[in-house]
Each structure stands twice: as C-alpha cells, then as structure tokens.
Amino acid sequence: MQPHYIEFITVGFGIFLLMFEAFSSGNKSKLGLIAAAGLTLILILQCFVCTCASVPDWMSRFYHYDQVALFYKIIALVSTILVLLMAVDFRKVLSRFTSGDTSSSGLGEFFCLPVFACAGLMWMASARDLVSIFVALELVTITFYVMVAYMRKNVGSLEAGVKYLILGALSTGFLVYGIAWIYGALGTTEVTLFSNIIAKGEFNQSYLLMGIALILIALGFKVGAAPMQLWIPDVYQGAPTPITAYLSVASKAAGFLVMMVVLGPFLAMSATNSEVVLALSVMAGATLLYGNLAALQQENFKRLLAYSSIAHAGFLLMGVASRDFSAVSFYLGTYLLMTFAAFFVLALVRNQDDSDLIDAFDGLGKRNPLLAAVLTITMAALAGIPLTAGFWGKFFIFAAAINAGQSWWLLAIAFVSVAAGFYYYLKVVKAMYWNAPTTEKAIEVPVITKSVLALLTLAILLFGIWPQPIMDLLK
C-alpha cells in the first residue's frame, strides 16, 4: 500500500465520524471510544506500511516517507488515541461547560476534531516542502483553535481560545512571510534542494537569513520557545485538560519536526550554520531560564506543567542546535509518555475534586497509594532521574551538546535548569506524601485511565532501563 493512503484513510475516518455524530443520538462518549478504536486500527495499519514503500511521482515533491516520518506518525497517532481516551473520562467537566448540564449532547465534535488534527500531524511528518508543511500545519492549528475554546461556558477556556487564535494567526503570518523570503532567496520551496543551492553559492545571504529568522519566530510560537512563549501558561491552563496534553505533546512534536526539517539544511551548510546555531542557542538558553525559573513558584499543577513544557522545549532546542536530530526525536518520544501520564492523573483529580492546584494532590499518597506511586515515577521521569525514560532524553541531549561543542554558558544554563527541575517536580511529590489530605475520600480510577496509566508507567520504567527499542525505531 502506498504510504499516503493512511492520511487519506484518517481524514475519511474523521468525516465518517462527523456524519455518524450528526445522525446518532444519546451517549456521545461512545464516539470517543469509536474514534480511539479506529485510530488504533490505523496505527496498526501504519506499522505495516514498509518504509521502503514508494511514493508516486506526482506526490513525491510534497510527501516523503522514511523511518523518521514513521516515528512521528506513530507519535501523532498514539497521542491522539490517548487524548481521545482521556476526553472520554473527562466528559463530566466538558459537558458541564458546554451544555451546562450532565448530558453529553454537546460533545460530539469534541471527539471528531482530534482525528483531523491527527491527519494534519501525520501529514506534517511527511512534508518536505514549505508549501505542504504550511498546509499541514494550518490543518492542525485551526483544529486546535476550536478545541482550545471548546468549553464555551468557561471564561478561561474562551480566553485561552482567543489568545491562541490571535497569536497563532500572527505566527502563521510570520511563517508565510518567512517562506516568501526563503523562496525569494533560493528560488524553491523544496527543502531537499536547499543544500545544493546553498553549496553553489547562488543566493542572497541576507534575504535568506531574513527568511530563516522569520520562520524561527513562527516556529518559536508553535513549540513555545522564548521569547515567543508567553501564550503558553494561559492557553494551557484554560484549555480542556486533554487538549492541553495534546498541545503539549503532539503540537510540540510537530513543531520540532518542522524545525528540524526546515533548519536541517541551514545547520548543515557552513554559509548559514553559525548564525542559525547562535540564534537557536540564545533561544534555548532563554527558554530554559524562563521555563524553569517561572515554574519554581507555581501553585497550579496545570500551569506547572505548562512551564515544564516550556522548559522541555529549551532542552529540545539545545538538541536542535547541536544537530542531533535522533536525540531530539527520542526526547519527544519519551516526553509523550511522561506528559500524558501526568495529564491523565491531573484530569482524574480535576474530575473528582474540581481543582487543578497542587494542593489538590495533598495526601494523595494516603487517598490512593498506587496513583501516587505512578505520579511519583512520572515526576521523577520529568525531572530526569536515571532509570526512567526521561533521563535518557536529557542524557542524549547533553551528550549531543557536549559533542557538538556547544557554548559553555548554554550547558551551564541547562545544568542549572535540570537542578531547578528537581525542585518543582518534587514539589508535587512532596504534596502527595508530606501534606495531610483535605478530604479522606478515596479517589476512584476509571478503568480506561487505570489501564492507560499502567501502560505508560511500565513504558517509562522499561525504556528507562532499556532505551534501545526507541532508538531502533529512529534508525
């Protein structure tokens, strides 16, 4: 089967779901399960498409299929499936803020939209032309505008939606403008041809740098890199929790993939290398400092995760600047596991105690020891403590940075950031075990959340000891 059929199937499946939603009545949450099941089938199908499969000529300029693309498609599919499952368990909060009661009549589209976003993410994994990259990115972003603002009776969600919409549109503007400058400088939008043209030296250096700078700004918005990170805490806090997780993982992964694809040729060529590395390093340093220092004083767990997401973007940027793309991909893969585990627990607590604050986790060790243990492992992984998957991610990034001869100041900032991370991630652990619970009510864990959390925790530990399988995927 030709690889691009999978994206067609995904879009088709999304349209089918919309139709199904329109004509079905009653409990909409089964729609989420159907969507998750369908995507699981697509995931299985995707894994069977050989990376040697050829792309037809008329597609080949816009569509590229290899091991790395496969990896990111898997990330897209897995995170969408997890988002849908989380949304099913999160429906109580959702319906309160959509239809205003406990019925789930307003939830139908909420389970269809992620499927379209997923198609966009998968397409982005294969896009190797600025035009197709742009189209795929917009498919994802526009879907996100809707999903972020979905809880229409919640002011926070609406505010988040507006912020995301305005800044997202602005970044789109930057992106298109940057693409135009690059097209003007190099005469093509095909990323694979960039290196040749630069090598021949037939281009205007300052036009090209202008284009790169504009694209960097746009991508900085997408991945949440300083100084374009300001929207992240508010949008993350306001959006429905499953969507926050989605933004934090899938949208970030896609942003970094695009960054690596577009900047790869510029990083490789000596004509542009030093400027791009410098820009990336400065962004990485600023992002690390901002994310980690601002996270130190957060009292709200969701905001904490937002700042943590900024902090992780800093490490990833350092990996991009060091030009070790497999380290970045590995990091994103493990980041998916940890972040989703954290958000699943958060959604659960929010569902039952109606609070996102770290205080809501007080005494969780007593209320549900197993859940507390899972969150402890997750936080340890996010902090980068060895024998969890999170450590390897940081390990590869640091090894890459040292090998690439990164500036000492960036390394120093990164090391300080890791130490700061210990503090704020362990703050959650502290709340769970040290503080007395405000209520003795035991926390019920629905079966979906329970099985997903078990799987994610096992994966965090397994890959923490044996990371080779992920590396094999990236080969």
Partner 1 sequence: MLFALILIPLLAAVAILLGAPSRNTALGAAVLNIFLTAVAVSNPSAWDTGFQVLEQPNINLSLGLYDGMSVVMLILSVLVTFAAVFTGKCPEGRDKLWFSSILLIAAGAIGAFISTDIFFFYAFHEMALIPTFLMIGILGSGERKQAAWKITIYLAFGSIVLLAGLLLAVGQLDGFAFSDLQEIPAEHQNAVALLLIIGFGTLVSLFPLHSWAAPAYASAPAPVSMLHAGVLKKFGLYGLLRVGMVVAPDGMAHWLPWVCVLLLGNIIWVGLVTVNQKRLDLMLGNSSVMHMGYIFLAIAALSANGSNEIAQPAAVLLMFAHGISIALLFSLASVIERKTGTLEIAELGGLAKTAPALAFVFGLAGMASIGLPGLANFAGEVMVFFAGFADWKPAEGLGWVQWTTIIALWGVVLSAVYMLRAYRNIFQGPLVRDTKPATDLHICEKIPAYLLATTLLVVGIYPQILLQFL
Q: Is residue 423 near partner 1 by the rule CB under 8 A?
A: yes
Q: Residue 258 carries which side chain, given as an amino acid letter?
A: V
**How would DSSP label each residue in 106-159?**
GGHHHHHHHHHHHHHHHHHHH--BHHHHHHHHHHHHHHHHHHHT--TT-HHHHH
Q: Which of 51, 196, 206, 403 binds partner 1 (CB under 8 A)?
A: 403
Of 109, 114, 124, 105, nearest in space to 86 by CA: 114
Of 369, 379, 372, 367, nearest in space to 426 by CA: 379
In the complex with partner 1, which residue's Cβ is closer, 22 or 399? 399
- In the complex, minimum distance from the CB of residue 402 to partner 1, in angstroms, rounded to a whole number: 5
DSSP helix, strand, coil percent of the chain (3-state; round to 5): 80, 0, 20
- In the complex, minimum distance from the CB of residue 327 to partner 1, in angstroms, rounded to a whole number: 11
In the complex with partner 1, which residue's Cβ is closer, 119 or 380? 380
- In the complex, minimum distance from the CB of residue 464 to partner 1, in angstroms, rounded to a whole number: 9
Count of residues binding partner 1 (CB under 8 A)? 29
Q: Is residue 398 near partner 1 by the rule CB under 8 A?
A: yes
Q: Is residue 301 near partner 1 by the rule CB under 8 A?
A: no
Q: Which of 295, 418, 443, 445 binds partner 1 (CB under 8 A)?
A: 418
Of 373, 224, 412, nearest in space to 312 by CA: 224
Q: Which of residues 343-372 bind partner 1 (CB under 8 A)?
A: 369
Answer for the pair 90, 241: CB distance below 8 angstroms, yes or no: yes
- In the complex, minimum distance from the CB of residue 426 to partner 1, in angstroms, rounded to a whole number: 6
Alpha-carbon distance of 94 to 31, in angstroms, equals 14
Q: Which of residues 434-453 bind partner 1 (CB under 8 A)?
A: 434
Q: For partner 1, which stretch binds (CB under 8 A), given 16-24, 113-121, 380-388, 437-445?
A: 380-388
- In the complex, minimum distance from the CB of residue 391 to partner 1, in angstroms, rounded to a whole number: 7
Cis link prior to 437 (omega < 30° from 0)? Answer: no
Q: For partner 1, which stretch binds (CB under 8 A), given 38-46, 77-85, 243-251, 381-389?
A: 381-389
Q: Count CA atoms closer than 13 A to 110's CA, side-chain side.
A: 35
Q: For partner 1, which stretch binds (CB under 8 A), given 33-41, 256-264, 392-400, 448-456?
A: 392-400
Of 249, 239, 112, nearest in space to 164 by CA: 239
- In the complex, minimum distance from the CB of residue 71 to partner 1, in angstroms, rounded to a whole number: 16
Q: Is residue 391 near partner 1 by the rule CB under 8 A?
A: yes
**Cα dihedral angle (229, 234, 238, 240), rounded to 10 degrees?**
20
Q: Which of 209, 380, 410, 428 binds partner 1 (CB under 8 A)?
A: 380
Q: For partner 1, which stretch binds (CB under 8 A), given 131-139, 281-289, 437-445, 461-469?
A: 461-469
Q: Is residue 397 near partner 1 by the rule CB under 8 A?
A: no
Identify any residues that bridge with 129 across adjacent strands, giving them in sequence order: 190
Alpha-carbon distance of 56 to 46, in angstroms, equals 18
- In the complex, minimum distance from the CB of residue 443 to partner 1, in angstroms, rounded to a whole number: 18
Q: Which of residues 255-294 bind partner 1 (CB under 8 A)?
A: none
Q: Is residue 415 near partner 1 by the rule CB under 8 A?
A: yes
Q: How many residues does the chain have?
A: 475
Burial class of residue 404 in the structure, from the number of CB atoms within 10 Å of its CB (0-12 exposed, 13-18 middle, 19+ buried): middle
Q: For partner 1, which stretch binds (CB under 8 A), given 23-31, 50-58, 105-113, 422-430?
A: 422-430
Chain positions contacting partner 1, by CB under 8 A: 369, 373, 376, 380, 385-387, 391, 395, 398-399, 402-403, 411, 415, 418-419, 422-423, 426, 429-430, 433-434, 465-468, 471
